[in-house]
């Protein structure tokens, strides 16, 4: 059976305006929604108010420049481990045998991109029926020294290498809009993004997003289109609405923005 890859956005499981604040009730609900998956499942979560502020403070994504960044990398990774522990706890309570896989220990990254990754343990865990849980992380970079490996890049790499059937991203808005829906009242939801309509959409979307270290919504779509080229479909849905993530992972289409090749 092809694995399902689910990303939980940092904005869904943490309060982005309060440092180290987990949205506990949302996480509990999402854990029970994820526990309804019957087949192999990989979950990747974002950093939200755990990873992003430290990553920006120490400019991890600009590569190694000074000694202060060593503690910065250590602190950013530790913050992500702490958020990950909350996620694992919630999934276990919901009955899902989840296990943490720290990307900084198994991804070989160069110039900000994953070159390779030790996948044998992940594959074995999936075969046994466990759910590997990864996260956006501060990682060593073979050429830059250090960088941020985003959850968005991870889901695409894992989907490709594990032969995933589908990818579902849970965010805190209804999908991809023509502009940031939190800023632009006239922004319209785009139900489907394809290799054909993307070039026209990208201008308005890029000018609206890109606030955090991983580049916001346009970057997510860019990563997902690379996957669409390989015929793996993705859907971006609103995981803050109870039941929406569950419906999407159980196979319902059209709940948010689909990113497909056609
Ligand atoms: P996460 O941390 O959940 O992965 P991000 O914060 O990176 O998510 O991206 C989701 C956010 O992107 C939304 O909360 C929204 O405010 C913002 N955003 C910017 N541009 C757009 C757009 N064109 N369509 C939808 N959301 C957008």
Task: Write out pLDDT tens, residues 81-109.
Answer: 999 999 999 999 999 999 999 999 999 99
Report which ligand 1 atom has the smallest distance to the Cα of 172. 14
DSSP the chain: -PPEEEEE-HHHHB-TTSTT-B-HHHHHHHHHHHTT--S-EEEEE--HHHHHHHHHHTTGGG---STHHHHHHHHHHHHHHHHHHHHHHHHHHTT--EEE--HHHHEEEETTEEEEE--HHHHHHHHHT-EEEEE-EEEEETTTEEEEE-HHHHHHHHHHHHT-SEEEEEESSSS-BSS-TTT-TT--B-SEE-TTTHHHHHHHHHHH---STT-HHHHHHHHHHHHHTTT-EEEEEETTSTTHHHHHHTT---SSEEE---
- 217 inside domain: no
Q: Is the dihedral of CA 6, 94, 27, 113 positive or negative?
A: negative
- CA–centroid distance, 23 to ligand 1, in Å, is 17
Q: Are 157 and 116 in contact (CB under 8 A)?
A: no
CATH of the domain at 122: 3.40.1160.10
Residue 119 CA neighbour count, 13 Å, CB half: 15
Is 212's pLDDT higher than 50? Answer: no
- 10 inside domain: yes
- CA–centroid distance, 209 to ligand 1, in Å, is 7
Is 17's pLDDT higher than 60? Answer: yes
Confidence of residue 216 (pLDDT cuts 50, 70, 90): confident
Residues with beta carbon inside 6 Å of ligand 1? 9-12, 46, 48, 171-173, 176-177, 179-182, 205, 208-209, 212, 214, 216-217
Q: What pLDDT, on the 0 to 100 scale, is given for residue 26? A: 98
Confidence of residue 179 (pLDDT cuts 50, 70, 90): confident
Report which ligand 1 atom has the smallest distance to the Cα of 9. 3
Report which ligand 1 atom has the smallest distance to the Cα of 7. 4
Residues 162-173, buried b or exposed e (16+ Cβ, 10 A)? bebbbbbbbbbb
Query: For a pocket test of ligand 1, which of 181, 203, 213, 235 has the largest count of ligand atoms closer than 8 A to its C-beta?
Result: 181
Residue nearest to atom 25 of ligand 1 (CA): 176
Per DSSP bridges, beta strands 166-171 and 192-193 are unpaired
Q: Are 42 and 203 in contact (CB under 8 A)?
A: no
Confidence of residue 202 (pLDDT cuts 50, 70, 90): confident
Structural domain boundaries, residue 145:
4-169+234-256
Residue nearest to atom 4 of ligand 1 (CA): 9
The whole-chain average pLDDT of the chain stands at 94
Residues ≥6 apart with Cβ < 8 Å to 14: 20, 21, 22, 23, 47, 48, 49, 50, 83
Confidence of residue 140 (pLDDT cuts 50, 70, 90): very high
- 44 inside domain: yes
Confidence of residue 251 (pLDDT cuts 50, 70, 90): very high
State the Cα–Cα distance between residues 236 and 254, nearest whole angstrom: 9
Q: What pLDDT, on the 0 to 100 scale, is given for residue 208? A: 52
Q: Are 146 and 76 in contact (CB under 8 A)?
A: no
Is 213's pLDDT higher than 80? Answer: no
Higher local confidence (pLDDT), 209 or 230: 230
Please report, rounded to a whole number, the percentage of residues in the chain having pLDDT higher than 90: 88
Report which ligand 1 atom has the smallest distance to the Cα of 183. 16
In order of 12, 24, 136, 243, the CA distances from 19 in angstroms are 14, 14, 17, 27
- 112 inside domain: yes
Report which ligand 1 atom has the smallest distance to the Cα of 48. 2
Q: What pLDDT, on the 0 to 100 scale, is given for residue 206? A: 64
- CA–centroid distance, 212 to ligand 1, in Å, is 9
- CA–centroid distance, 48 to ligand 1, in Å, is 12
Domain count along the chain: 1
Report which ligand 1 atom has the smallest distance to the Cα of 52. 2
| Mean pLDDT score, 247-257 | 97
- 113 inside domain: yes
Q: What is the pLDDT of residues 41-65, one digit of tens each?
A: 999 999 999 999 999 999 999 999 9
Is 9's pLDDT higher than 60? Answer: yes
- 21 inside domain: yes
Instruction: Average the pLDDT over each of 127-141, 148-162, 196-210 and give the range with the smallest value.
Output: 196-210
Q: What pLDDT, on the 0 to 100 scale, is given for residue 41? A: 98
Per DSSP bridges, beta strands 107-110 and 257-259 are unpaired
């Amino acid at each position: 059976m092809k694995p399902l890859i689910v990303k939980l956005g940092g904005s869904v499981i943490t309060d982005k305006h309060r440092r180290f604040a987990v949205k506990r009730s949302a996480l509990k609900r999402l854990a029970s929604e994820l526990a309804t998956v019957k087949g192999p499942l990989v979950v990747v979560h974002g950093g939200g108010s755990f990873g992003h502020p430290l990553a920006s403070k120490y400019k991890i994504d600009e590569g190694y420049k000074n000694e202060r960044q060593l503690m910065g990398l250590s602190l950013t990774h530790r913050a992500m481990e702490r958020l990950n522990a909350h996620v694992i706890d919630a999934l276990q309570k919901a009955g899902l045998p989840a296990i943490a896989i720290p990307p900084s220990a198994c991804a070989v990254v160069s110039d900000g991109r994953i070159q390779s990754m030790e996948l044998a343990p992940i594959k074995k865990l999936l075969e046994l029926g466990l759910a590997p849980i990864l996260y956006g992380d501060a990682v060593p970079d073979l050429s830059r020294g250090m960088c941020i490996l985003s959850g968005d890049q991870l889901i695409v790499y894992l989907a490709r290498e594990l032969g995933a059937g589908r990818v579902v991203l849970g965010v805190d808005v209804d999908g991809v809009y023509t502009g940031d829906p939190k800023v632009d009242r006239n922004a319209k939801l785009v139900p489907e993004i394809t290799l054909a309509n993307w070039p026209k959409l990208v201008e308005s979307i890029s000018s609206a997003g890109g606030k955090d270290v991983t580049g916001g919504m346009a970057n997510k779509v860019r990563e997902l289109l690379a996957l669409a080229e390989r015929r793996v479909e993705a859907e971006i849905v609103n995981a803050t609405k109870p039941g929406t993530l569950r419906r999407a992972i159980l196979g319902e289409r059209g709940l948010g923005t689909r990113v497909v090749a056609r």
